[in-house]
């Protein structure tokens, strides 16, 4: 049997001051989602160099980008964004299935901690050979 859950006005961004875990999870999921969809369009644009008749255009474009420190740093940021979106997405899927709503704040904090740990552990791999 379903019951109602008062989540307040979704559109009111001023609610961030309440420091509710669910609100931050909602904001972070939106933010990381916008970043990922923006990256998807950019990613296909860069990979479009593969359609050039000369295959070295693709190879040189990718290696040229990877030589830039800012690109490596942005890649670490992209990993953080992707990992959080994945972990929080699993949390949302479970909540949608009716699992873990009572612990949704704890699962959000867990998502943040695991995202932070994976991101920090990945820094040496991403910055190697710049």
Partner 1 sequence: MATHYSSFERGGITWLLQRLTAVFLVGVLAFHFMLLHFVNHAADITFAGTQARMSQVGYFATMWLFLVTATFHGVNGVYNALVNQGLDGTAKRAVGAVLTLASIALIVQGTRVALAMTDLL
Residues near partner 1 (CB under 8 A): 1-5, 7, 10-11, 30, 33-34, 36-37, 40-41, 44, 47-48, 50-51, 55-56, 58-59, 62-63, 66-67, 75, 79, 82, 86, 89-90, 92-93, 95-96, 98, 101-102, 122, 125-126, 128-129
Minimum gap (Å) between residue 17 Cβ and partner 1: 19
**Residue 110 Cβ vs partner 1, minimum distance, rounded to whole Å:** 16
**How many Å apart are CA 108 and CA 112, to the nearest integer?**
6
Cβ atoms of residues 85 and 29 within 8 Å: yes
The token pair at 113 is 């901690």
CA-to-CA dists, residue 64 to 27, 59, 72, angstroms: 34, 8, 12
- Smaller CB separation from partner 1, 65 or 112: 65
From the CB of 109, what's the least distance to partner 1, in Å? 18
Closest by Cα among 28, 45, 29, 120 to 77: 120
């Amino acid at each position: 049997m379903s019951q109602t859950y008062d989540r307040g006005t979704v559109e009111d961004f001023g609610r961030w001051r309440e420091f509710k875990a669910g609100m931050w999870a909602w904001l972070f999921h939106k933010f990381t989602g916008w970043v990922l969809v923006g990256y998807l369009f950019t990613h296909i644009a860069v990979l479009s160099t593969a359609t050039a008749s000369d295959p070295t255009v693709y190879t040189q474009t990718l290696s040229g980008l990877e030589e830039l420190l800012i690109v490596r740093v942005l890649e670490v940021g992209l990993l953080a964004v992707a990992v959080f979106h994945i972990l929080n997405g699993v949390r949302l899927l479970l909540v949608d299935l009716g699992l873990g709503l009572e612990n949704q704040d704890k699962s959000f904090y867990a998502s943040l901690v695991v995202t932070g740990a994976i991101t920090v552990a990945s820094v040496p791999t991403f910055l190697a050979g710049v």
